[in-house]
Structure 1
Amino acid sequence: MKIAIVGSGLVGQAWAIVFARGGHEVNMWDGDPAAVAHAQALITKQVADLHNAGLITDPAGLIARIQSVMTLEEALAGAQYAQESLPERLEMKKEIFAKMDALAAPSTVLASSTSSIPASAFTENLAGRGRCLIAHPVNPPYLVPVVEICGAPWTDAAVVQRTWDVMEGVGQKPVKIHKELKGFVLNRLQGALLREAFRLVENGYVDAEGLDVTVKEGLGLRWSFMGPFETIDLNAPDGLADYAHRFDEMYQAMSLEQTSTDHWSEDVIQKLEAQRRALLPKDKLLARRLWRDRRLMALAAHKKSAEE
């Protein structure tokens, strides 16, 4: 299958790796030719890291399946599936989907990586709106496999299924979102945790490092291989209902303090920024991101071996 990658930023690069690793031919395009050249260099490095981690066996073959092209027309020519990963701006989504709908073959699936904008917001007036949907990844998708698949009210059910099949075929873990909502499911869960994390720091209960340790050495250890419902199902003698009845009063009491919908205050943002920069200077961010990805590779290798 031929895949079109529209946008060569961090997410577009990662998608290119996902599809090429799955054996597909990939055409990658970006409105900025310099960005594509930069993306190819980063992809080469990421693929080398995957090989060193034992997660792929043919890095040269993978890279050979990713071709940079100069025009959107070239990217979409012969493509059965297109993954758009441009910045999170509604007008930009409307513009690129109108172009893709006009250029791509009628059977080509047009998917967006948007992390918050429903497909109905930028596909309603398209002639081919039935083949448009969201396939929202977690960054970087070549290491974090979940993909939220969410159609607009007019998306053809067969297109949703085709997208599911494409994602399963390249080793991703698709989740169907049954109806549109802003931010989909993953970011709403992340947002709830972040809102409480900001509140706890703002009110002086904990600092940035202590909060992160609580998650990475506590909740995160279980969440790396099971979700919150399975977690509570195993945390009471008789399962989920037993847990809910035991702890409902506690969670309800806490929720009374968690009802604010205010913006994050600039004071707490700057407080957290200062604490994070004390722990990690800004010029070390890229190195730490690469460290994160290597840790994710090690975790992926461990999970793969545990399933075999």
Structure 2
Amino acid sequence: MIAPADVKKVAIIGNGLMGQGIAQVFAREGRSAHVIGRNDDSLARARTAIEANIEAFVERGLHDRPKADAMLGQITLGTDYDAAADADFVIEAVPAVRDLQIEVFGRLDAICDPKVVLGSTSGQPISLMVDRMKHPERAVAMHFVYPAQIMPLVEVCGGSQTTPEVVQWACDLLTEVGQTPAVMNKEVDGFIINRLQFAVLREAWSMWANGIASAEAIDNSFKMTLGRRYSDTGPIESAELGGLDILHNFARFLYPALDNAAEPPAALTELVEAGHRGFKTGKGVYDWSQRDGASLASRRADRLFQHIAEDAEKG
């Protein structure tokens, strides 16, 4: 394998939101990023989105104009899979459909040098995607978090046939481009972040569906307490600071009462099936005609960019 520091050309399979963000991460650190998509129309939309995303960094003083122009110059787009053949590293960011992912890895395995590491940004085990590979030992999950150009952490997990050297290589490459790897010791559906996120969502949706509290009360309770605390200390750190004896005792009391359903609540399913899918349709649990969703999304983006500035100050 090429040394991570020597990786100069990266190929990204998939030109959706995740692929766009990953391209920006590598271009930001001076790497050539070639995005491979399905057709010229979708690639044109991707290019426009990438330009807007980079401009958002300029507007907030996180990139100057020369930096932005240099990044745009590093990013190219095309539809030819063979363009990945001479890349130093390839990562797929296609929809999380197993048959499609198996096909992608099979094609990449056939055209890329066996020493080239092949990554997947899916939150699903990499072992599910290597059926058609002759060299599955070089496949590794590298789960970027949306939006990839803003979120610094990447979950890394090898499969049953991935070599330890490939896992370490992936971590070293991520560090080279300013990302923070979080290594998993074994494969599990959803990985770390989604499992934590959906544990919270299951309980939040359950309390709303069962009339325990309104959506607004639940959201405010999280934002004004746990959201602030977890920004600096993770859940296990927080428990350690609070005292394991105290949290352990309360867990024994509370665990039996927590929701453990294997399906989302019926009330939520009814909303989705009725076409009420949240902000994008104007209604979900909330009635978005009565709320300024655009301003809420903008405030969230501003806070995420603020974290980037704070991280830069810390060095």
TM-score where L is the length of structure 2: 0.88
CA drift of 1:226 comes to: 2.1
2:293 & 2:110 partners in 1: Cα distance?
40
The one-letter code matched in structure 2 to 1:22 is E
SS of structure 2 residue aligned to 1:174: strand
Kindly indicate whether the alpha-carbon contact (under 8 Å) linking 2:32 and 2:74 is maintained by their aligned counterparts in 1: yes
Identify if the C-alpha distance between structure 1 residues 66 and 149 changes in structure 2 by more than 3 Å, giving closer, same or farther. Answer: same
Using the TM superposition, give the Cα deviation of residue 286 of structure 1 relative to its aligned residue in structure 2, in angstroms: 6.7
Offset at residue 138 of structure 1 (A): 1.1
CA contact (8 A) 1:49 1:294 kept: no
Residues 213 and 5 of structure 1: CA distance in aligned 2, closer, same or farther (over 3 Å)? same
Counterpart residue number, 2:160? 153
Identity of aligned residues (%): 28
Q: CA deviation at 1:293?
A: 2.6
Partners in 2 of 1:12 and 1:294 — Cα distance? 22
**Which secondary structure does the structure 2 equivalent of 1:232 belong to?**
helix
Partner of 1:179: 186
Preserved contact between residue 134 and residue 149 of structure 1 (Cα < 8 Å): yes
Which runs of no fewer than 5 residues in structure 1 stay unpaired? 236-242
Question: Is 2:287 aligned against 1:278?
Answer: yes
- Which residue of the other structure, out of 75, 98, 106, is the alignment partner of 2:106? 98
Q: Which residue of 2 aligns with 1:296?
A: 304
Does residue 1:60 correspond to 2:69, yes or no? Answer: yes
Tell me the equivalent position of 1:14: 21
Q: Deviations over 1:228-273 (max 9, x none)?
A: 12222223xxxxxxx2212323222211022523311231352995
- Counterpart for residue 239 of structure 1: none
The answer to whether the 8 A contact 1:143-1:300 is kept is yes
Which residue number in structure 2 is paired with residue 73 of structure 1? 82
Deviation digits for residues 106-133 of structure 1, max 9, x if unmatched? Answer: 2211111112x21111114410111101
Contact 2:37–2:43 (Cα < 8 Å) also in 1: yes
Equivalent residue number for residue 256 of structure 1 = 256
Change (3 A) 1:124 1:286: farther
Moved more, 244-253 or 185-194: 244-253
Instruction: Report the alpha carbon displacement of residue 288 of structure 1 after superposing the two structures with TM.
Output: 5.1
The 8 Å contact of residues 84 and 112 in structure 1, kept in 2 or not, is answered as yes
Q: 1:264 to 1:28 in 2, by over 3 A?
A: same
Tell me the distance in 2 between the aligned counterparts of 1:280 and 1:71: 43
CA RMSD of aligned residues (A): 2.1
Q: Which residue of the partner structure matches residue 220 of structure 1?
A: 227
**Match of 2:265?**
265
Q: Distance in 2 between matches of 1:146 and 1:71?
A: 30
Q: How many equivalent residue pairs? A: 297
Query: What amino acid sits opposite 2:257 in the alignment?
Result: E
Q: Deviations along 1:38-77, whole A, 9 cap, x unmatched?
A: 0110110110111222222310001110011230111x13
User: Which residue number in structure 1 is paired with residue 212 of structure 2?
Assistant: 205
Instruction: Name the SS of the counterpart of 1:234 in structure 2.
Output: helix
Q: Does 1:144 align with 2:160?
A: no
Q: Which structure 2 residue ranges, 5 or more long, are not aligned?
A: 1-7
2:5 alignment partner in structure 1: none
Aligned match for 2:34, one of 20, 27, 32:
27
Q: In structure 2, the residue corresponding to 1:263 is in which secondary structure? A: coil
Distance in 2 (alpha carbons) for counterparts of 1:127 and 1:37: 34
Other-structure match for 2:237: 230
Is the contact between residue 14 and residue 140 of structure 1 (CA under 8 Å) also seen in structure 2?
yes
Q: Deviations over 1:1-37 (max 9, x none)?
A: 1000110101111001111001100111112321111
Name the structure 1 match of 2:95: 87
Select 2:202's aligned residue among 195, 201, 207. 195
- 1:140-164 C-alpha deviation (Å, 9 max, x unpaired): 1211111111111111222111111
Are the aligned partners of 2:103 and 2:132 in contact in 1 as well (CA < 8 Å)? no
Residue identity in the other structure for 2:31? H
User: Structure 1's 233 and 164: CA in aligned 2 closer, same or farther, altered over 3 A?
Assistant: same
Give the conservation status (yes or no) of the 8 Å contact 2:116–2:138.
yes
CA separation of 1:175 and 1:228: change in aligned 2, threshold 3 A: same
CA distance in 2: counterparts of 1:134 and 1:295, whole angstroms:
28
Residue of structure 1 in register with 2:4 after alignment = none
